Amino acid sequence: MNNKDNATFREQYGRRLATQLCDQHFGARPTATLDGPAVLRFTPIRQVNLFVVQQLLAQWTQEMARLRSPYFDFEAEDVRQSLTQFMNVLSRRIKLARPTFEPLLARAITDTLAIPLDPATTFEQKLLGTLATATPEQLRDALRYLDVDKVFYQDFLESLPAGTAQPQEALLKRFALYQEANYKHHEPLAKLVEEFNALLPLTEDKLQGTVPAVTAPPVVAAPTPSTPSPIPAPPAPPVVPQPVPQAAPAVAHAPETATAARPQVAAPAAVAVATVPVSSNTETAAIPLYEKLKAGQPATAPLSETLRPERAASTLADQAPKVETLREAISINQRFSFINELFSGENMEYHAAIQHLDTLPDADTAKSYVTQDLAGKHDWSRKDEHVAKLLKLIDRKFA
């Protein structure tokens, strides 16, 4: 099976599974709708749910960008604040009926199956997207939508020079070199196939297009009219193709988190780059988390930056007035970011923590709970950026 046929198989499988799952969910309630949390837990395969959310937020960002007009001042401070509040309110009002949700689900399934088979396309579509140029920091923001093979892509971003924007074409060439040098360092395919097979039959051979073809019986040519036909021998019994047994895929467990032990991978050999050393956990632990985060500066980006996907996690804590509760102030994009990055995808852990923070009497108590209790429990030693955003929200709440 060539690449085109392989892609066609993934698309067909994605549509079939999406229809099956939607039949199960919407069958008895054809007019039912899904909100954000329901989307995040719709399938037992976390990567599929993440890709649905990524598509949603991309559509949402495009819709908001269309509001810009040459007839009005979109850079005025009150306009920017109003747009930010509107975006946050709207993001908490997701409402998906089956006709709009099923195509997103089918695409998410197809894209999930492509991750281990077509890494270059996954990098181009899921990390680069529409960016003409990108820094490693911008690309790293999109990593929150990756669950399958996340370490492979994360290691590539760490091989890029920090803070340096590169054209899309150059990044694609660098990734091709990286992929060629580290093709053995992907997560095993068996675990992903096993998860999908539990929902709709699938094997590694079918996904990779390596199912051996069955040889057809030989065709015997009839005698020509000019040749006297001899007395025919008794016909041989027909050759019946025997089914090829499918070997059960061996289950290999992927790393539980992105910080788990991972294989050593090499940066692209053909491109010499200067890398920025990453501080060790020992150095991080020596400086209190709260002290490291106090130096954060408020966001002053223009509206065009605010509406970009990599800044979609910005909330009222950056630009808007005092908030009443953290639960209401956190948009779906930032809530998703907190759940994914700070709470390892555990939705209930996140909601319990935010609910507790909303009951605390002052900012100091709330910040202490974040930087000591939560940071120690969930190992936030390398999550300074996300913790800083949470602390800014706390400052707004108690301002």
Q: Give me the chain's average pLDDT, please.
A: 77
Q: pLDDT (tens digit, 9 = 90+) per residue, 69-93?
A: 888 898 899 988 888 888 778 778 8
* Residue 354 in this model has a pLDDT that exceeds 60: yes
- Structure-block tokens of residue 309: 């996907």
Please give the average per-residue pLDDT across 199-220, as a whole number: 71
The model's pTM is 0.57
Return the pLDDT at 236: 52
- Residue 312: pLDDT band (50, 70, 90) is very low
Provide the residue type at 370 as one letter. Answer: V
The total number of residues written for the chain in this structure:
399
Strands 166-167, 133-134: pairing is: antiparallel
Return the pLDDT at 276: 37
Provide the residue type at 112 as one letter. Answer: T
Return the pLDDT at 215: 43
> Cα Rg for the chain, rounded, in angstroms?
27
Return the pLDDT at 320: 52
- Structure-block tokens of residue 91: 């993001």
Q: pLDDT (tens digit, 9 = 90+) per residue, 98-147?
A: 999 999 999 999 999 999 999 999 999 999 988 899 999 989 888 999 99
Q: Which residues, 6 or more positions from 5, have their beta carbon under 8 angstroms from its beta carbon?
A: 209
- Measured in whole angstroms, how far is the alpha carbon of residue 327 from the centre of its chain? 24
Q: pLDDT (tens digit, 9 = 90+) per residue, 360-386?
A: 889 899 999 999 889 888 889 888 888
Provide the residue type at 27 as one letter. Answer: G
Q: pLDDT (tens digit, 9 = 90+) per residue, 144-178?
A: 999 999 999 999 999 999 889 999 999 999 999 99
Return the pLDDT at 288: 55
* Residue 60 in this model has a pLDDT that exceeds 50: yes
Question: DSSP H helical segments within 66-117, as ranges?
Answer: 77-91, 98-114
Please give the average per-residue pLDDT across 289-303, as a whole number: 47
DSSP 228-288: PPPPPPPPPPPPPPPPPPPPPPPP-PPPSSTTS-----PPPTTS--PPPPPPPHHHHHHS-
